[in-house]
Structure 1
Amino acid sequence: MEQQSHPSSTEGGTQEWRVGRLAEATGVTVRTLRHYDQTGLLRPSGQTSGGHRVYDQQNVTRLYRILALRRLGFSLAEIGSLLDDPEWDLAAMVTRHATQIEHTIAIATRLVAHLRVILGELDRSHRTHPDTLFTIMEEMSMLDTPVRDTTTLLVYDDLAAAHAYLSETFGLTPGALERNAEGRAVHGELFAGDHAIWLHPTAEGYRSPRQLGAVSSMIVIAVDDTDAHYADAKEHGAEIIQAPVSQPYGVREYGARDLEGHLWYFHGPLD
């Protein structure tokens, strides 16, 4: 059964959503909502007595506009100027969004039909005509988007030790650990959900935080239960730099430093 995110109501009957509820209902992360707030794209309608952001129905409409414009290919800078256009019309936006989806469905439908043609040709002669393949490749390109995915790459001096530490201490799913002819680990892979994290060995121009004596980035991972994850990491010897704390932007998070100095933050929804 599909889960519903129930808004609260003010004394005047206006519906409001706390930031965590809005994130759950829309699939937009709390950190993204925080970024939209900081950049002025989506200011919350107010705050709770505990300092948590709350959003009203106008905010929900504005968030849809942001997401729809992003889907239509506009940059955040362009969206910022479009959002306050007095001529903007919700019905027109939904119509344009629907048209785009229909176009995508039409391309996918044609692609399926051509793939079935190929199957028929293969059944008859085990070969297919180049023109059919050209058509399929063209339609595949039409479905493509310029951005595919993201992979985090972290530099370590001892990849084997880092690979074991991150899986055992933080619960990351271990992937491949490749070694060269001398037996030294030269590439490692781990996963946080569907997100890939690659381990890169130190070399000229590549240094771990421990070697540099500083960090220039942090890794942030969402977990189901912050306190449970914290307790498990601490039991496995994690170097904790910040115990779990409930943040005003709607998450509970803690921070840790790994064996070569990379900073990790783990956060989950507030109860």
Structure 2
Amino acid sequence: MTAKEAGIMTAPTVFPALSYDDAPAAIKWLTGAFGLTEHFVAEGPDGTVAHAELAWDDGGMIMLGSTREDDTLRTGRCWLYLIVDDPDAHHERAVAAGAEVVLPLKDEDYGSRGYTVRDPEGHLWSFGTYRPASGT
């Protein structure tokens, strides 16, 4: 029997990793606008970020760092989804911090309530009540 089948919570095994042209500013903005918290930040040369880990309230984590000119892993922008219990309050916080609304706060026909915004460097962030692991 697997841990999942037994109902045992396990540590996350997927950690999105993002690059930002101005990673220090991104960390400040993401913690202020979305409520992520700094878990670890390793400074790079010239005020860059070699590696950072921002924690989410359920034990999830997002890693990020400064984009480098020689970065062979530069892949462009991405889209992330994070679960929130109160999407209305979270939306208000993100908009107050200047997040660009891409998809407005709304109730979905599959039972979720959520929204999507763009951060200052173009990454898309969706927040909602849908929990893929449980289907609710």
Compute the TM-score of the two structures, normalised by the length of structure 2: 0.78
Instruction: Give secondary structure in 2 for the equivalent of 1:163.
Output: helix
The residue type equivalent to 2:95 in the other structure is K
Q: Which residue of 1 aligns with 2:114?
A: 253
Q: Which residue of 1 aligns with 2:82?
A: 221
Say whether 1:243 aligns with 2:104. yes
**Counterparts of 1:257 and 1:179, CA distance in 2:** 25
| TM alignment of 1:75-86, pairs within 5 A | none
Distance apart, 1:181 and its partner CA: 4.8
Contact 1:226/1:267 (<8 A) preserved: yes
Q: Give unpaired runs (5+ residues) of structure 2.
A: 131-136
**Counterparts of 1:231 and 1:191, CA distance in 2:** 20
| TM alignment of 1:100-139, pairs within 5 A | none
More helix by share: 1
Distance apart, 1:169 and its partner CA: 0.8
Distance apart, 1:223 and its partner CA: 0.6
Q: Which residue of 1 aligns with 2:127?
A: 266
**Counterparts of 1:199 and 1:218, CA distance in 2:** 14
Q: Which residue of 2 aligns with 1:184?
A: 48
Tell which has more relative contact order, 1 or 2 (C-alpha 8 A, sep 6+).
2
Contact 2:49/2:65 (<8 A) preserved: no
| TM alignment of 1:28-177, pairs within 5 A | 71=2, 149-177=13-41
Distance apart, 1:268 and its partner CA: 2.0
Kindly report the root-mean-square deviation, in angstroms, between the aligned alpha carbons of the 2 structures. Answer: 2.6
Q: Give unpaired runs (5+ residues) of structure 1.
A: 1-67, 74-96, 102-144, 210-214
**Counterparts of 2:91 and 2:73, CA distance in 1:** 30
Contact 2:79/2:126 (<8 A) preserved: yes
Count matched residues: 124
Residues 106-148 of structure 1: CA deviation (Å, up to 9, x unaligned): xxxxxxxxxxxxxxxxxxxxxxxxxxxxxxxxxxxxxxx9x96
Residues 218-247 of structure 1: CA deviation (Å, up to 9, x unaligned): 110111111111011111111111111111
More strand by share: 2
Distance apart, 1:72 and its partner CA: 8.7
Rg bigger for which structure?
1
Instruction: Give secondary structure in 1 for the equivalent of 2:13.
Output: coil
